[in-house]
Chain A
């Protein structure tokens, strides 16, 4: 079974802090994704990566950056956290072709 893990289930940070969210997958998937989900809304794509060191902006990249130095790991970085980045963050990975996405358990981030 594909396993996607995220570094924390719950995280509390202060405004202005630099925040790192880590995601690791164990199935050699080439594609990895970061989403955020807010109450009553669907998943919104922040960034995705289709290969090591490659990244593309999603629908809401402002205030975020990403890093993919190894195939299995995709990091989301909040350079200077703000209260409007309080949200659930979901990581996913997929293999090309079928494009079925497998999700991690999510990180619920609160920025105070």
Chain B
């Protein structure tokens, strides 16, 4: 079984920093993906964490704590185009991934 918990919706202002938290419980765990999905479009890959710690990629960073079943996605210098849903997706080692509804982020001017 698998359980993922992340906020349904968040709002932030252009230029600000926002942190999207995710807690998960899975029967197996190889790593954790973050995907971005704009309305009406397909999800696109943002990051993949296997080991504990922070991985930075431009304005986006992702953190993982395997022992706590916790991850977060940090978005800096927010832009209007960052308005999207952000999906926290554990890789349990099986071919299938479970994509929930994620966190809908609304960035305002």
Where the two chains meet, the residues of A that have a C-beta atom closer than 8 Å to any C-beta of B are 31, 33, 35, 40-43, 45, 48, 50, 58, 88, 90, 94, 96, 98-106, 108
B57 CB within 8 Å of chain A: no
A contact residues around B101 at 8 Å (CB) = 40-42
Write the chain B residue with the least CB distance to A49.
Answer: B95
Work out how many contacts link A and B, with CB atoms closer than 8 A.
47
> What is the number of residues of chain B that contact chain A, defined by CB distance less than 8 Å?
21
Chain B interface main SS type: loop
Q: List 11 A-B contacts (CB under 8 A).
A: A33-B96, A41-B101, A48-B96, A50-B95, A88-B40, A98-B31, A99-B91, A99-B95, A101-B97, A104-B42, A105-B41
Contacts of B42 in A (CB 8 A): 90, 103-106
Residues of chain B lying within 8 A (CB to CB) of residue A40? 101
A31 x B100 contact (CB < 8 A): no
Cβ of B72 < 8 Å from any Cβ of A? no
CB of A45 within 8 A of CB of B102, answer no
Q: Does B33 contact A (CB under 8 A)?
A: yes
A31 touches B95 (CB 8 A): yes
| Shortest Cβ distance from residue A94 to the other chain B in the assembled complex, whole angstroms | 7
User: What residue of chain A has the Cβ atom nearest to residue B44's Cβ?
Assistant: A103
Q: Which residue on chain A has the smallest CB distance to residue B89?
A: A101
Is there an interface contact between B45 and A102, defined as CB atoms closer than 8 Å? Answer: yes
Contact A98 B91 (CB under 8 A): yes
**Closest residue of chain B to A94, judged by CB?**
B95
| Interface set, chain B 61-87, CB cutoff 8 A to A | 87
